[in-house]
Amino acid sequence: MMFLTLCKPFLAILNSCLISMLRTPNPYLPLWPSVLMFWIVILLILVCINSMLIGLI
């Protein structure tokens, strides 16, 4: 339960970062697609962990 409360603000921050990154794509980043994929993978992992924890509670 404690982990879930700690994880929720972190997920919100990640979401806002991802949305702002999507809205303003930086042309100076040559690795832009891989960076985006990296963030999406992290987000999916966190969502999976959260749903598992909710299932346990």
Own/partner long-range contacts of 35-41 (Cβ < 8 Å, ≥24 apart)? 39/14
pLDDT of residue 17: 67
- Backbone phi, psi, residue 27, to 5°: -70, -15
pLDDT tens string 7-33: 677 777 777 766 776 666 655 555 567
Task: Answer yes or no: pTM beyond 0.85.
Answer: no
pLDDT mean across residues, the chain: 71
Residue 12: the pLDDT is 78
The pLDDT of residue 46 is above 80: yes
